[in-house]
Amino acid sequence: MLMIFEYDHTVRRIYTDGRPLPKDPDPLWLGYSVGHWEGDTTFVVDTVGFNEKTWLDRLGVPHSDQLHVTERFRRVDRDHLQLEVTMQDPKALAKPWTGTLYYELRNDWDLGEISCSGDYLDFNTFESFSFKKQDTTK
């Protein structure tokens, strides 16, 4: 399976042919991913082999070569997707971390072009970014 992202024209490969995770993968930005279906609605992806340039979060928290990410993509209904992400890294995390994201299908949206230049963003009004400018007048 290929995942295509707007940001930076990124393509992620997820192998679905039954292969195991490699024991010593070549480090990659998005790691090495294998996926399989559980039932009719849940796609499970295991990923290892992230390079040292990636982070655990947008704040720049580093990980080790032991990072293992498990994603559980589940169609809640026709227009909604739930993604549960679990990160395990015995060298960087005291215990596994799990978070859940929710997505909604937008039939009227097109896949756009977004580059790392950032010139398309107004950080004063773009609410989704965690590093949005803060009001320092208070």
What's the alpha-carbon Rg for the chain, to the nearest Å? 17
Nearest Cα to Cα of residue 87 among 68, 100, 60: 68
Residue 125 scores a pLDDT above 60? no
> What's the count of helices (H) and strands (E) in the chain, helices before strands?
0, 7
pLDDT, one tens digit per residue, over 27-64 is: 999 999 999 999 999 999 999 999 999 988 888 899 99
Question: Region 19-33: what's the mean pLDDT?
Answer: 95
How high is the pLDDT of residue 57? Answer: 86
Residue 128 scores a pLDDT above 50? no
How high is the pLDDT of residue 130? Answer: 43
Collect all residues with Cβ–Cβ distance below 8 Å to 129 and sequence separation of at least 6: 121, 123
DSSP E strand boundaries for the chain: 2-4, 11-15, 32-38, 42-48, 68-77, 80-88, 97-104
Assessment of whether the complete model's pTM goes beyond 0.85: no
- Cβ count near 47 (within 10 Å): 22
DSSP state of 114: B
pLDDT, one tens digit per residue, over 80-119 is: 999 999 999 999 999 999 999 999 998 888 776 666 665 5
- Domain boundaries defined on the chain: 2-104
